[in-house]
Amino acid sequence: MSKTIIISNRLPVQLQISDGGMSAIPSVGGLATGMKSVHDGKNSLWIGWSGLTEEDTPESLVPAIDKALAEQGCAQVSLTKEEVDGFYFGFSNRTIWPLFHYFLEYTEFELSFWETYRQVNQKFADAILAQSGPDDIIWVHDYQLMLVPQMVKEKNPGATIGFFLHIPFPSYEIFRTMPWREEVLQGLLGSDLIGFHTYDYERHFLSSVRRLLSLDVHFNDIYLDNRIIKVDSFPMGIDYKRFHEAAVANDQLKGKERSDLQKKLDDHKASAPGTKLILSIDRLDYSKGIAKRINAFEYFLRKYPEYKEKMRLIILAVPSRSNVPQYMLLKKEIDELVGRINGELSTVNWTPIWYFYRSMPFENLIDLYTSCDIAWLTPLRDGMNLVAKEYIATRTDKTGVLILSEMAGSAYEMNEALLINPNNFEQQADTLKRAFEMPKEEQMARNMFLQKRLERYNVEVWAQEFMSVLKNQKSEEQEQVVT
């Protein structure tokens, strides 16, 4: 009987020491939820890194960790600190991440990072090979593991392999700058199906395959030796029900039961009627355009001073990759910007920006989504951007305005949002004004369409659709090769 193996850099669980033993608590992130129907615990295995380096794991705990992981249908690839530095903080986040988000100036082409990336990808591939047979289905996730499909295919040609990239695939002109571009493409081409969030990323990938490897490409099929590799787009959805129901439950909570953050937000609304809250939530990452957004907010307040004291921007920036130099510099830049703007523009009754640099529990995320009149998301590049979708899902009365960068993958599916170019301050200032003034009926009409779409094409449907195309692809490929 065939089984399904899912593989991602991080496992979808958090390890916790409990009563002298170990337990693995399932994460509730988007990917983990979407994969629930695929990773059902019966005939599937999820392979990944636990988050603890070998140096941080006492040998005596390893059996307990393996047991706790096995109970969740997971198996770990153990990594040393040096491997994590070169593979994850190095090649993944100092080479591929900036390059694929069009930040050439931040991209480091460092041979030692590449070598560690290759070596660690081999470790992941070996872990799959140790567990898989020719009838198994393997789904590899994301940019940290782009060489894994080929490494597995070489040794287990019968396996059905799918790969999904969660970040953008850049245009050929950007991708071609990478010294190891052919190796990366060949690594991906070990797959039977390669999925992207949008048609544009798919197009960029096919163009690189055509131009760098001179392979035969017909529509979205790539012909390689006696194999046919399908490339397609699968825009990732969210767990709509979870977000929507949490917002409904939040609406029903009264008085004492409400969180401190919700009480603070309610007090703010009561004390300043007619004012509006703007929300942005992102990992603290240069690709998310946080610093530009703060500058654009200052531009707006100076262009339309009548909105001072009427609009407040809430920024939730979640700490991320904080030992990569660019992220440290960005943190400093944002701290300084917020300080300067609040210092220059605040009045006795009003602070323009509330800035939180932390991660918040899910309940507080819902408090923010449901209390803010406008969500303003300005990535300079973003594979998809799930925050935009989550904001819409929580608007139980259908009010709320989403201002979204056209550089986010989600903009392709969210035409009813107010789409902006994050580099255009003039346009954003006018859009903020328009969002403030937008009649409730218009907000509701726009969000009705968005909600319907998000509810239908949720993350579970996304995972199932990928799996079904993957299974079909393998059988079609076999038929075509035989005939």
Interface positions with ligand GDG (CB under 6 A): 30, 166-167, 236, 281, 283, 316, 318, 359-362, 365, 382-387, 390
What is the residue-wise DSSP string for 280-292?
EEEES-GGGTHHH
Two structure tokens written together for 20: 């002298």
CA nearest neighbour of 46 among 64, 63, 71 = 71
Alpha-carbon distance 429 to 295, whole Å?
11
Residue 221 DSSP SS3: strand
The distance of closest approach from Cβ of residue 405 to ligand GDG in the complex, given in angstroms and rounded to an integer, is 11
Alpha-carbon distance 108 to 382, whole Å?
20
Q: What angle do CA 452, 458, 464 make, to 5 degrees?
A: 135
The distance of closest approach from Cβ of residue 281 to ligand GDG in the complex, given in angstroms and rounded to an integer, is 5
If the CB atoms of residues 184 and 375 are measured against ligand GDG, the closer one turns out to be 375
β-sheet bridge partners, residue 230: 193, 221
If the CB atoms of residues 86 and 237 are measured against ligand GDG, the closer one turns out to be 237
Alpha-carbon distance 439 to 443, whole Å?
7
Alpha-carbon distance 102 to 75, whole Å?
34
Residue 162 DSSP SS3: strand
If the CB atoms of residues 18 and 359 are measured against ligand GDG, the closer one turns out to be 359
The distance of closest approach from Cβ of residue 82 to ligand GDG in the complex, given in angstroms and rounded to an integer, is 26
If the CB atoms of residues 150 and 280 are measured against ligand GDG, the closer one turns out to be 280
β-sheet bridge partners, residue 195: 164, 232
β-sheet bridge partners, residue 354: 314
If the CB atoms of residues 90 and 379 are measured against ligand GDG, the closer one turns out to be 379
The distance of closest approach from Cβ of residue 131 to ligand GDG in the complex, given in angstroms and rounded to an integer, is 25
The distance of closest approach from Cβ of residue 238 to ligand GDG in the complex, given in angstroms and rounded to an integer, is 7
If the CB atoms of residues 294 and 429 are measured against ligand GDG, the closer one turns out to be 294
**216-218 and 221-224 as β-strands: parallel, antiparallel, unpaired?**
antiparallel
Q: Which amino acid is at 169?
A: F
Alpha-carbon distance 114 to 117, whole Å?
5
If the CB atoms of residues 75 and 236 are measured against ligand GDG, the closer one turns out to be 236
CA nearest neighbour of 225 among 237, 216, 234 = 216
Close Cβ partners of 351 (under 8 Å, ≥ 6 residues apart): 312, 342
The distance of closest approach from Cβ of residue 70 to ligand GDG in the complex, given in angstroms and rounded to an integer, is 26
If the CB atoms of residues 21 and 361 are measured against ligand GDG, the closer one turns out to be 361
The distance of closest approach from Cβ of residue 353 to ligand GDG in the complex, given in angstroms and rounded to an integer, is 17
The distance of closest approach from Cβ of residue 359 to ligand GDG in the complex, given in angstroms and rounded to an integer, is 4
State the distance between the two ends of the chain, measured CA to CA, in whole angstroms: 26
Residue 198 near residue 216 (C-beta atoms within 8 A): no
If the CB atoms of residues 79 and 246 are measured against ligand GDG, the closer one turns out to be 246
